[in-house]
Copies of this chain bind each other. A is one copy, B any other.
Amino acid sequence: MPETSEQDFSQQRFLEINTALQSGMFVYVRKMFQTMPAYDIALLLESSTSKSRNLLWQLVDPDLHGEILEELSEEVRKGILKSMDPEKVAAVAEGMDIDDLAEVLRTLPDAVYQEVLGSMDTQDRARVEQALSYEEDTAGGIMNTDTITLRPDVTIDVILRYLRLKGELPEATDSFYVVSRNDKFIGSVSLADLVTARPEQTIAEITDYNTVPVHVNSTDTEVATLFERYDWFSAPVLDEEGHLLGRITIDDVIDIIREDAEHSMLSMAGLDDEADTFAPVIKSTRQRSIWLGVNMITALLAVAVSSMFEGILSQMAILAVLNTLVPSMGGVAGGQTLTLVIRGMALGHIGDSNARSIFTKELAIGFLNGLIWAILVAGIVAIWKQDLLLGGIIAFAMLMNLTAAGVAGVTVPLLLKRMKIDPALAGSVILTTVTDVVGIFAFLGTATLLLS
C-alpha cells in the first residue's frame, strides 16, 4: 500500500507538533504552521483530541483561519467556533467565499451568529443573508455567486479586452454564462472556446446552448449525481423562472460525493451523527448508547424467543451450545445482501424497475448458500456429536434462515425507502432481528418437535 507514504509523512509531522505542544514549545509549533498548507493544518486539527484542538487553533496565523474553517468537518468546526470571540469570527468571515461563509455561519449558536452578522458591512450582510435563505443541502446552499455573465451580441475581442482590464477571474472559473437582458440564462461559453475563437466572432456564435442548468432547490445529492454522470466541471444555478443565480464548481461537489458514499457505512453502524473521530468521550458515549439501546431491544427479542424453548434447552445442553450458529450465519448472509442493495439504491442501480430481478437473484443465492452450509454444518455436527438427526435439524434451520436472510436483505431496504426511512440506518437492526428470530425459531422449534 504505497499510498501510506504520504500519510506516514503527515503522521510523523503531527507527532512532532503534538510533542512540541505538550512541552509548551509554542513558538516552534507556530513556525511549523507557517510551512503547512491550510488543508494540512485542518487535517491535524481533525486528528487531534478536542483538548489540544483549541490550543493548536490559538497558534494558527489568523489570516489562515477562514481557509482552515472551510476545510474542517462540521462537527470539528462547531467546536472551534464555539471557543472564538464573535468579533474574531466576524473578522475571519470577511475573507471567505459566500458559500463557505454561509456554511460556517449556519453552525454558529444563534447569539454569536447575530453578533457576527451585526459586525459586517451592509453589502456583505445582504449577500450572506441571501445565501442563508437557501436550504443548506440544496444547490442554492452550495453555489457561489461570483459568476461572470456575458451578453450574446458582444464580440470575443471586446470580452478579451474586458477580461484583461479585470485582471483576475473568480476562483475555479472554467466557463462564463450567457444571459439575456433580463438575466435569463441562455447558455455557456467555456474558456477553452473563448481562446480558440476568432476575435471578430460574437458570443452567440460560440455559446453552448445545450448546457444543462441546475435548479436552485435541487438537493446536493442530486447535484453531485449530475456532476458525476456527465463529467461536469461546473454548472449554472437557476431559479424557477430561469434567472441565473450562481454557479456550482466541482470542488464543492467532491465533498458531497465522499460524504454520501461514507454515509451508508457510518449509518449501518449507527454512527450517522458522529463525524468527529475525536469527539469528547461523554458526547460519543451518549451518541453510541442510543444505537446500543436499539440493539439491546432486538437482542432481548431474540432472548425472549429462546426462552420459549427453555424446556428443550434444559433437556439438551448441546442445543444451547449450537443455538448461536444459525443466527450468526443468517446475520452475515443478510448483511451482504443488505449492503449490496443499499449501495445499489444509492447508485441508482436498484429501483422499482428491477426490484423483482434482484429479489429473485438474492432469494436464489440465499437458498443455494443455505444448501451449501446446511450440508456442511450437518456433516460437522453429525460427526462431532454422532447424531444424524441433530445434524438434520441444524441443516434445516440453516437453509430456512439463509433463505430468509436473502429475502429480508432485499425487501427490508426497499420497504424502508418507500416509507422514507433511511435504509442504511434502520436496515441492519431490522435485518438482524429477522435473522435472529427466524434462526432461533427454526432451530429450537424443529428440535422441540423432533427431539422432545
Residues of A near any B CB (own CB < 8 A): 1-8, 10-12, 14-15, 18, 37, 39-40, 43, 46-49, 160, 163-164, 166-169, 172-174, 191-192, 194-198, 217-219, 221-222, 225, 227-231, 233, 250-251, 254-255, 257-258, 261-262, 264-266, 268-271, 274, 277-278, 281-282, 284-285, 288-289, 291-292, 295-296, 299-300, 302-303, 306-307, 310-311, 313-314, 316-325, 327-329, 332-333, 335-336, 338-341, 343-344, 347-354, 357-358, 361, 364-365, 368-369, 372-373, 376-377, 380, 417, 420, 436
A164 / chain B contacts, CB cutoff of 8 Å: 195-198
Question: In the assembly, what is the distance between CA of A307 and CA of B328, in Å?
Answer: 16
Most chain B CB inside 10 Å of its own CB: which residue of A47, A166, A255: A47
A274 partner, pick from B277, B291, B340, beta carbons under 8 A: B340
Question: In the assembly, what is the distance between CA of A318 and CA of B281, in Å?
Answer: 35
- A-B residue pairs, 9 tightest by C-beta: A320-B320, A261-B261, A11-B351, A314-B317, A15-B353, A265-B265, A269-B339, A14-B353, A231-B251
Question: In the assembly, what is the distance between CA of A316 and CA of B372, in Å?
Answer: 34
8 A-B residue pairs with Cβ-Cβ distance under 8 Å, sorted by A, are: A11-B351, A257-B257, A262-B343, A265-B339, A269-B338, A271-B340, A277-B341, A285-B365
A219: nearest chain-B partner, CB-CB: B3
A327 / chain B contacts, CB cutoff of 8 Å: 324
Question: In the assembly, what is the distance between CA of A8 and CA of B345, in Å?
Answer: 11
A278 partner, pick from B4, B173, B271, B361, beta carbons under 8 A: B361
Q: A163-B195, A168-B196 are in contact. Are A318 and B324 (CB under 8 A)?
A: no
A320: nearest chain-B partner, CB-CB: B320
Question: In the assembly, what is the distance between CA of A25 and CA of B300, in Å?
Answer: 54
On whether the beta carbons of A277 and B349 are closer than 8 Å, the reply is: yes
A306 / chain B contacts, CB cutoff of 8 Å: 320-321, 324
Question: In the assembly, what is the distance between CA of A227 and CA of B231, in Å?
Answer: 15
On whether the beta carbons of A313 and B324 are closer than 8 Å, the reply is: no
A264 / chain B contacts, CB cutoff of 8 Å: 265
CB distance from A199 to the nearest CB of B (A): 8
A262 partner, pick from B163, B250, B261, B316, beta carbons under 8 A: B261
A3 partner, pick from B4, B48, B197, B222, beta carbons under 8 A: B222
A288: nearest chain-B partner, CB-CB: B336
A296-B376, A302-B328, A306-B320 known, 15 other contacts, Cβ within 8 Å: A1-B420, A2-B219, A5-B222, A43-B349, A47-B349, A164-B197, A195-B195, A250-B250, A257-B257, A269-B339, A269-B340, A299-B328, A303-B322, A310-B317, A317-B320
Q: A257-B254, A265-B268 are in contact. Are A281 and B321 (CB under 8 A)?
A: no
A284 / chain B contacts, CB cutoff of 8 Å: 361, 365
A369 partner, pick from B4, B5, B288, B354, beta carbons under 8 A: B288
CB distance from A265 to the nearest CB of B (A): 4
A369 / chain B contacts, CB cutoff of 8 Å: 285, 288-289, 292
On whether the beta carbons of A163 and B339 are closer than 8 Å, the reply is: no
On whether the beta carbons of A332 and B192 are closer than 8 Å, the reply is: no
On whether the beta carbons of B373 and A266 are closer than 8 Å, the reply is: no
A318 / chain B contacts, CB cutoff of 8 Å: 307, 310
CB distance from A66 to the nearest CB of B (A): 14
On whether the beta carbons of A333 and B373 are closer than 8 Å, the reply is: no
On whether the beta carbons of B324 and A307 are closer than 8 Å, the reply is: no
CB distance from A371 to the nearest CB of B (A): 9
Question: In the assembly, what is the distance between CA of A52 and CA of B334, in Å?
Answer: 26
A298: nearest chain-B partner, CB-CB: B328
A436 / chain B contacts, CB cutoff of 8 Å: 324
CB distance from A340 to the nearest CB of B (A): 6
A321 partner, pick from B195, B274, B310, B373, beta carbons under 8 A: B310
A198: nearest chain-B partner, CB-CB: B164
On whether the beta carbons of B277 and A166 are closer than 8 Å, the reply is: no
On whether the beta carbons of A325 and B303 are closer than 8 Å, the reply is: yes
